[in-house]
Structure 1
Amino acid sequence: MKTGAAVVCLIAFVHAQDLSVKVNNFGLELLYFAHQDTRDNTVISPFGVWSQMVVLALGATKESRNQLDHALRLPKNNTKVVNAYHNLTTAVLHPIIHKRSFMFYDMRVNISKKYEMISEYFGSMPIQLDFKQSNSAALVANRLLIDSGVKVSNVLIPSDFDNTTVILTCVIKFRGSLRASFSSKNTKLAAFYDDKNGVNAVFMMRQIGKFLYSNLESIRSQVLEMPYNAKYSLVLILPHIGTTLNDVYHRFELISLDDILNSLVERKVVEVELPRFKISTNLILNEPLNLMGVDIFEKEYASFDNIAPEFCISKFVHKVVFEISESSEDDTRTATDYDAKFTANRPFVYLVIEKTTQTIVLNGVYSRPSGVLRE
């Protein structure tokens, strides 16, 4: 029995790894379009958005199902979709990730009991509210999110409920601590050069330590991995001076994330300079998803016969809170000499990756000091 259970676990693990590639491709594409939409500091959770939309795909029909299958890289068979979802979710989630998903829908919408049970089973709680009472609807929705454990505010605002019938929400808060913590004693004001050649002041943290590091000419970037105390790592992609983020995005078409991560085989002594920052983005994902070929936000194009007649998603609201800061007052430097210098004083990409499956839990762009959107 133990051998059989081990084989089942191994198969599930391999399937989770296979699926993580699809989630990662989806996530990098979504980050690109989300950043193009905001033109600001941006952070999303590919895993969070993907898992919320998998639940939606189970109720989709006709062209909407085809679009979701294509964008999410899903198999056609619902049983395989369900198994894939559970395998990946089991592997990726950990108590330091606070994830909550809701589907708020108006009193005028009557979703099928079967889909309501499916949605609730997969953790996307369906909640019916009176959207005509927009102030009270926003108050109740935000209270439900807070009470569910994510402890964030102002995810939804009253105007979100105007002229809408269904709002998907996915909220992620990541509370990881870097294994090699930055010391506040080493933080100093420094210059940060944005993508418009503007110069801004930023609190720049500094430490010297041994990290997995590579200098990848294929994407004209330095790549650095800093492990968290749990099973996650922070991967930083810093374009070379004179290389823009758009240049790096285009090079992602020529090299996979696996190639980038597989380049991190050599541990070097690196002087790391990284801005202290907290980013809280509250994004409407309609436009980025539209650009990815998911046209489900207008009734004439949406097809969700398994949920309700004339059902369509009015808005997909995605909030992520992510912070990198000092967690020590002691000087953690162990060396004065270093093999490489990683100075993040210009726009860079960052990824939080679950190591066993190499799934992107969070990814984002830091483009300038500041940036709290819609809060």
Structure 2
Amino acid sequence: MRLLDRMSLATDQHFVFAPLSTWMQLTTLLEGARGTTLQEMKKVTHMFRSKCNRRNQRKIMNELKQDIYPQMNMSSAIVLDSAYDIKHNYLDEVKYGGVRIFVVDFDEPQKAAARINEYLFDSSSMEEMMFPQDFQHTTVLTADAGYFMSEWKTPFQTIQTEVSPFYDEKNFEIGKVNLMRQTGVFSMTTIPTIKATVLELKCSDRISMLLFLPVEGASIYQVYESLMNIRLQSIIMRLERDRRKDVDVYLPRFEIVTDVDNLPELLYDMGVKKMFYPRTADFHGMSDYKLFVSMVQQKSRIEVTEGGVVANFVPQMLISGQNYKTFKANRPFAFMVVDRTTELILFAGMYSQPSLY
């Protein structure tokens, strides 16, 4: 949550980010770190368990990535220079951790960049993110690309989507959106400690999108700031404890693509510092030579649509009555795509810049 909070400040509160991918990259690098570099990374990733437990945790993450494909995908890569004799025991240790390790010749940057981009964007339909010049004066690069495409257990009906105003936090209209709508039984609760009403939209038995709409008088940034003081498990338990309700749901149809190239700055602010400097980085678990990380970047994409049209259209389910609650995201809101099984945040972000998508 600390990293997401910093992302909100760096992106004008309109972004999507895959925190799990960055965490997996850091824990994979951690296995080759030593000394104070290792201690910094352990503190930020909370990886204080034994190597056996860490190995099991990475195995769970890898299985998760396979289970959620193709609705969403996260392709993470760590790129190492073959000139530095990368240790085979390190490569064996992290082989099944969900992050692909590439050992390539940095003296052939065009070939190396093409290979990494082919892996990152094989199924994400996004532009390349690694270029030949990235391989100059460096030894370790990391990059990941991820996408989420909504596929609801209960789809929205396209016939209900209408062009509607979108407002800022002072209730001034700032644009138009295609506002989707559906009425049904959902888990929804208001949590005073985070100053937001939370709605759960299920994508599958395992994956859900949580929507956070600030209560009156609260800003979307205040919601994100407050989320640092509550565990995801507590939010899920609160949703399960409160009875499911009849809710009239309004949600913009949208796409957000975020290219994050300042992750080193964000990680530095959180306490991961030494791995970015040749003089202080200690990765002797990877190589007997001096290695340091010079680039950490991520490109994420989220697409939220009606999720398909079902044939068994039931008109009465789309008629609101007096007993229906309303969740209308026609003003800035936050979202998280979560795995209920592991209680992990797969994607998260904010929506505050309206457009007709």
After TM superposition, the score normalised by the length of structure 2 is 0.86
Partners of 2:39 and 2:28 lie apart in 1 by 14
Structure 1 match to 2:284:
305
Q: By how many angstroms is 1:200 displaced?
A: 1.7
Partners of 2:113 and 2:63 lie apart in 1 by 31
- Which amino acid counterpart does residue 369 of structure 1 have in structure 2? P
- Per the alignment, in what secondary structure is the counterpart of residue 341 of structure 1? strand
The correspondence of residues 151-170 of structure 1 with structure 2, limited to 5 A, is 151-170=125-144
The correspondence of residues 251-262 of structure 1 with structure 2, limited to 5 A, is 251-262=226-237
The correspondence of residues 263-302 of structure 1 with structure 2, limited to 5 A, is 263-264=238-239, 265-284=242-261, 285-295=263-273, 296-302=275-281
Aligned with 1:345 (options 330, 336, 343)? 330
Q: Is 1:316 paired with 2:296?
A: yes
- Which amino acid counterpart does residue 297 of structure 1 have in structure 2? F
Q: By how many angstroms is 1:211 displaced?
A: 0.3
Aligned with 1:199 (options 168, 174, 196)? 174
What 5-or-longer segments of structure 1 have no aligned partner? 1-27
RMSD of the alignment, in Å? 2.6
Percentage identity across paired residues of the two chains: 28
Partners of 1:140 and 1:91 lie apart in 2 by 25
Q: Is 1:190 paired with 2:167?
A: no
The correspondence of residues 46-61 of structure 1 with structure 2, limited to 5 A, is 46-61=19-34
- Per the alignment, in what secondary structure is the counterpart of residue 193 of structure 2? coil
Q: By how many angstroms is 1:270 displaced?
A: 1.0
Q: By how many angstroms is 1:262 displaced?
A: 1.8
Partners of 1:237 and 1:286 lie apart in 2 by 28
Q: By how many angstroms is 1:125 displaced?
A: 2.6
- Per the alignment, in what secondary structure is the counterpart of residue 326 of structure 1? coil
- Which amino acid counterpart does residue 219 of structure 1 have in structure 2? I
Aligned with 1:210 (options 176, 185, 195)? 185
Partners of 2:130 and 2:61 lie apart in 1 by 28
Number of matched pairs: 343
After TM superposition, the score normalised by the length of structure 1 is 0.82
Contact 2:87–2:286 at 8 Å: present in 1 too?
Answer: yes
Partners of 2:121 and 2:19 lie apart in 1 by 22
Q: By how many angstroms is 1:159 displaced?
A: 4.6
- Which amino acid counterpart does residue 293 of structure 2 have in structure 1? I
The correspondence of residues 106-185 of structure 1 with structure 2, limited to 5 A, is 106=81, 108-131=83-106, 134-147=109-122, 149-185=123-159
Partners of 1:253 and 1:100 lie apart in 2 by 26
Partners of 1:34 and 1:251 lie apart in 2 by 15
- Per the alignment, in what secondary structure is the counterpart of residue 218 of structure 1? helix
- Which amino acid counterpart does residue 301 of structure 2 have in structure 1? V
Contact 2:59–2:96 at 8 Å: present in 1 too?
Answer: no
Partners of 1:220 and 1:122 lie apart in 2 by 37
